[in-house]
Chains A and B, each alone.
Chain A
Amino acid sequence: MTALAHKKYSVIPGFSLAIGFTVLYLSLIVLIPLSATFLKSLSLGSEHFWEAVTSPRVLASYRLSFGASLLAAAINVVFGLLVAWVLVRYRFPGKRLVDALVDLPFALPTAVAGIALAAVYSRNGWIGHSLEAFGIKVAYTPLGVLVALTFIGLPFVVRTVQPILEDFDGELEEAAASLGASRLQTFLRVIFPSLWPALLTGFTLAFARAVGEYGSVIFIAGNRPMVSEITPLLIITKLEQYDYAGATAIAVSMLVISFTLLLVINGLQWWSHSRRSASASSGGHEPVVDKPGFARAHARPNPAAPIAERP
Chain B
Amino acid sequence: MSIAISNIVKTFGGFTALKGVSLEVEAGELVALLGPSGCGKTTLLRIIAGLDAADSGTILFDGEDATRRHVGERQVGFVFQHYALFRHMTVFENIAFGLRVRPRAQRPAEKEIQRKVHDLLSLVQLDWLAQRYPAQLSGGQRQRIALARALAVEPKVLLLDEPFGALDAKVRKDLRRWLRRLHDELHVTSVFVTHDQEEALEVADRIVVLNQGQIEQIGTPDEVYDHPATPFVYQFLGDVNLFHGRVHEDQAHIGEAELKARGQLNAGASATIFYVRPHELEVLRRPDGSQAVRAWVRDVRRVGSVIRLQLERLDGHGTLEAEMPRERYEDEVHAVQKGEQVFVRPKNMRVFSEHHHGSGVKD
Contact = CB atoms under 8 A, between A and B. Distances in A.
B269 interface: no
A96 B181 CA distance: 53
A175 B84 contact: yes
B51 interface: yes
Given A176-B97, A181-B101, A182-B72, A284 B153 contact: no
Interface string A157-184: 0000000000001011011111111100
Contact of A189 (B49, B85, B101, B133): B101
B84 A171 contact: yes
B101 A284 contact: no
Contacts of B49: 178
Contacts of A284: 83, 85, 87, 134-135
Contact of B133 (A181, A190, A277): A277
Nearest to A196: B88
B98 A180 contact: yes
A136 B292 CA distance: 99
A175 B78 contact: yes
Nearest to B106: A180
A175 B132 CA distance: 20
B97 A277 contact: no
A57 B50 CA distance: 63
Given A181-B101, A277-B133, A286 B87 contact: yes
B117 to A, nearest CB: 13
A277 B87 contact: yes
A177 B86 CA distance: 13
A171 B80 contact: yes
Contacts of A180: 72-73, 98, 101-102, 153
Contact of A178 (B78, B88, B102, B132): B78
B292 to A, nearest CB: 54
Interface of B: 49-51, 70-73, 76-78, 80, 82-88, 97-98, 101-102, 132-136, 149-150, 152-153
Task: Pick from B82, B102, B132, B133 the residue with the most CB of A within 10 Å.
Answer: B133
A286 B82 CA distance: 11
Task: Pick from A171, A278, A281, A283 the residue with the most CB of B within 10 Å.
Answer: A171
Contact of A174 (B73, B78, B83, B85): B78
Given A176-B86, A280-B135, 20 more contacts: A175-B78, A176-B101, A177-B71, A177-B72, A178-B49, A178-B51, A178-B150, A179-B72, A179-B97, A179-B98, A179-B101, A180-B102, A182-B72, A189-B97, A276-B133, A277-B87, A279-B136, A280-B133, A280-B136, A283-B135
A185 interface: yes
A178 B77 contact: yes
16 contacts: A175-B86, A175-B149, A177-B51, A177-B71, A178-B51, A179-B152, A181-B101, A189-B97, A194-B88, A276-B87, A276-B133, A278-B132, A280-B135, A281-B135, A283-B87, A283-B135
Contacts of A174: 51, 71, 78, 80, 84
B72 to A, nearest CB: 5
Contacts of A190: 86
B209 to A, nearest CB: 26
Nearest to B131: A278
A179 B100 CA distance: 10
Contacts of B150: 178-179
A283 B146 CA distance: 16
A272 to B, nearest CB: 9
A224 interface: no
A278 B86 contact: no
A10 interface: no
A179 B87 contact: no
A179 B136 contact: no
A181 B70 CA distance: 11
Contacts of A182: 72, 101
Interface in A236-260: none
A288 B31 CA distance: 37
A193 interface: yes
A95 interface: no
A298 interface: no
Closest 5 CB pairs of A and B: A280-B135, A179-B98, A171-B84, A181-B101, A175-B84
Given A178-B77, A277-B133, A280-B133, A193 B101 contact: no
Given A278-B136, A284-B134, A181 B97 contact: yes
A178 B71 contact: yes
Given A178-B72, A179-B153, A182-B101, A172 B51 contact: no
A32 B72 CA distance: 60
A286 to B, nearest CB: 6
Contacts of A194: 87-88
Contacts of A277: 87-88, 133, 135
A169 B72 contact: no
Given A178-B77, A279-B136, A284-B134, A172 B72 contact: no
Contacts of A283: 87, 135
A282 interface: yes
A171 B73 CA distance: 18
A170 to B, nearest CB: 9
Nearest to B136: A280
B214 to A, nearest CB: 26
Contacts of B72: 177-182
Nearest to B87: A284
A70 to B, nearest CB: 26
Interface string A255-298: 00000000000000000000011111111111000000000000
A200 B80 CA distance: 30
A53 B51 CA distance: 61
Nearest to A178: B78
A172 B97 CA distance: 12
